[in-house]
């Protein structure tokens, strides 16, 4: 399966378990891999034969910058469900959410979760 990769999208959200996280907010980085057949788009050079990734990024922005989730696992799951629900051409998605500055007394590059979801076969 072919894929389109959207890397290191940066958003500001209010997700987390601690009250400070939901009050002050923090940065989140999101990577997605969209799995779909790009054969026709490659041959025809027509946007209608693929997914408009600018539109996908706006879908993701609305989720990350919207309703807070306690867990980045839930945030990733919501992104995957929304993208698969809105863009029928996408057959599967991998979502990685990175919280680069979790409120721990330790220095590291952050914590991330990565999930992979496929469209249910009918």
In 3D space, the residue among 73, 68, 79 whose CA is nearest the CA of residue 9 turns out to be 79
> Region 20-32: what's the mean pLDDT?
94
Which is the catalytic residue, given 33, 70, 99, 118? 99
Say how far apart CA 78 and CA 112 lie, in whole Å: 15
Instruction: Note the pLDDT of residue 31.
Output: 98
Extents of the domains making up the chain: 2-117
pLDDT tens digits, 96-116: 999 988 877 777 788 999 999
**What pLDDT does residue 122 have?**
56
DSSP secondary structure code for residue 47 in this structure: G
pLDDT at 107: 77
What is the tens place of the pLDDT at every residue in 35-91?
999 999 999 999 999 999 999 999 999 999 999 999 999 999 999 999 999 999 999
- What CATH number was assigned to the domain covering residues 2-117? 3.30.1130.10
Instruction: Tell me the whole-structure pTM to 2 decimals.
Output: 0.94
- By three-state DSSP, how is residue 33 classified? strand
pLDDT at 109 (0 to 100): 81
23 part of the active site: no
């Amino acid at each position: 399966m072919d894929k389109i990769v959207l890397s290191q999208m940066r958003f500001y959200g209010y997700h987390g378990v601690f009250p400070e996280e939901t009050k002050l907010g923090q940065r989140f980085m999101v990577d997605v891999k969209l799995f779909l057949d790009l054969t026709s788009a490659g041959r025809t050079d027509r946007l209608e034969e693929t997914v408009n990734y600018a539109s996908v990024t706006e879908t993701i922005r609305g989720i990350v910058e919207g309703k807070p989730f306690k867990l980045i696992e839930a945030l990733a799951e919501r992104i995957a469900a929304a993208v698969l629900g809105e863009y029928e051409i996408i057959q599967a998605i991998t979502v990685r959410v990175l919280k680069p500055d979790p409120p721990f007394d330790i220095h590291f590059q952050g914590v991330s979760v990565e999930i992979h979801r496929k469209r249910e076969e009918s």
